[in-house]
Amino acid sequence: MTSRIDGPLKVTGQAKYGADNLFPDTLHGYIVLSTVANGEITAMDVTAAKSAPGVVGVYTPFDVLKLDKAVSSVFGETWVPLQTKEVAYYGQPIGVVVAETYEQARDAAMTVEVTYDEKPAVTSFTDGLATAEEPPEIRGGAPNEMSVLADGVESIEDALAASPVVVDNTYFTATQHHTPMEPHSAVARWDAAGLTIYSGNQAAHLQAEELSTALGVDRSQVRCINPFVGGAFGGKARTSAAGFLAAAAARALDRPVKVVMSREQVFTATAGRAATAQRIALGADKDGKLIALRHDSVSSTGMDRSFVEPTSHGTSREWYATKNLHISQKMVPLNIPPVTYMRAPGEAPGSFALESAMDELAIALNMDPIELRLRNNSTAPPGKDLLWSSKHLDECYQIGAMRFGWANRSPHGHEDGDWLVGMGTATAMFPGLRFPATVRATFKADDTAEVGTGGADPGTGLLTVLALVGAESLDIAPDRVTPVLGDSALPPGGLSGGSTATASAGSATMVAAVELIDQLVKLATSAGAPFEGLEVTYEGGRVLADGRSMTFGELLRATGRTELTATGSSAPGEELTKHSFSSFGAQFVEVKVHKLTREARVTRMLGVFDAGRIINEKTARSQLSGGMIWGVSAALHEGIEIEPSGRFANADLAGYLVPVNADIPDIGVHFVQYPDTLHSDLGAKGVGEIGVVGVAAAVANAIHNATGIRVRHIPIRIEDLLDS
Q: Which ranges constitute the DSSP H helices of 98-183?
A: 102-110, 125-128, 156-161
Please tell me the count of residues contacting ligand MOS according to CB under 6 A. Answer: 13
Question: Under the criterion CB under 6 A, does residue 296 sit at the interface with ligand MOS?
Answer: no
Question: Under the criterion CB under 6 A, does residue 345 sit at the interface with ligand MOS?
Answer: yes
Question: Under the criterion CB under 6 A, does residue 341 sit at the interface with ligand MOS?
Answer: yes
Neighbour count for residue 530 (Cβ, 10 Å): 18
Give the residue with the Cβ less far from ligand MOS, 473 or 499: 499
Task: Identify the residue among 46, 342, 441, 462 touching ligand MOS (CB under 6 A).
Answer: 342
Cα–Cα distance measured from residue 264 to residue 300, given in angstroms and rounded to the nearest whole number = 21
Query: By CB under 6 A, what part of segment 684-703 binds ligand MOS?
Result: 688-689
- Listed in order, strand segments (DSSP E) in 73-129 are 76-78, 86-87, 93-99, 113-118
- Least Å from the CB of residue 458 to ligand MOS: 9
Stretch that binds ligand MOS, among 336-344, 465-473, 609-617, 647-655 (CB under 6 A): 336-344
Q: Is the dihedral of CA 230, 568, 139, 304 positive or negative?
A: positive
For 27, 185, 188, 222, the CA distances from 247, given in Å and listed in that order, are 12, 11, 5, 10
- Least Å from the CB of residue 233 to ligand MOS: 6
Which three-class secondary structure state does DSSP give residue 12? coil
x-marked contacts with ligand MOS along 224-263 as a string, rule CB under 6 A: ---------xx--x--------------------------
Q: Is 157 a catalytic residue?
A: no
DSSP character for 134? P
Give the residue with the Cβ less far from ligand MOS, 57 or 310: 310
Give the residue with the Cβ less far from ligand MOS, 299 or 499: 499
DSSP run (H or E) holding 618 = helix 617-636
Let me know: does 256 contact 27? Beta carbons within 8 Å: yes
Q: Name the burial class of residue 601, with classes exposed (0-12), middle (13-18) and buried (19+) by CB atoms within 10 angstroms of its CB.
A: middle
x-marked contacts with ligand MOS along 140-169 as a string, rule CB under 6 A: ------------------------------
Give the residue with the Cβ less far from ligand MOS, 201 or 587: 201
Query: By CB under 6 A, what part of segment 187-216 binds ligand MOS?
Result: 202
For 499, 594, 607, 689, 692, the CA distances from 623, given in Å and listed in that order, are 10, 31, 12, 8, 10
Give the residue with the Cβ less far from ligand MOS, 346 or 400: 346
Comparing C-alpha atoms, which of 429, 348, 353 is closest to residue 396? Answer: 429
x-marked contacts with ligand MOS along 471-500 as a string, rule CB under 6 A: --------------------------xxx-
Let me know: does 391 contact 379? Beta carbons within 8 Å: yes
Give the residue with the Cβ less far from ligand MOS, 197 or 690: 690
Catalytic residue among 209, 360, 638, 689: 689
Let me know: does 467 contact 5? Beta carbons within 8 Å: yes
Which three-class secondary structure state does DSSP give residue 125? helix
Give the residue with the Cβ less far from ligand MOS, 56 or 348: 348
Question: Under the criterion CB under 6 A, does residue 626 sit at the interface with ligand MOS?
Answer: no
x-marked contacts with ligand MOS along 499-518 as a string, rule CB under 6 A: x-------------------
- Residues annotated as catalytic are 689
**Using CB under 6 A as the criterion, which residues of the chain lie in contact with ligand MOS when the complex forms?**
202, 233-234, 237, 341-343, 345, 497-499, 688-689
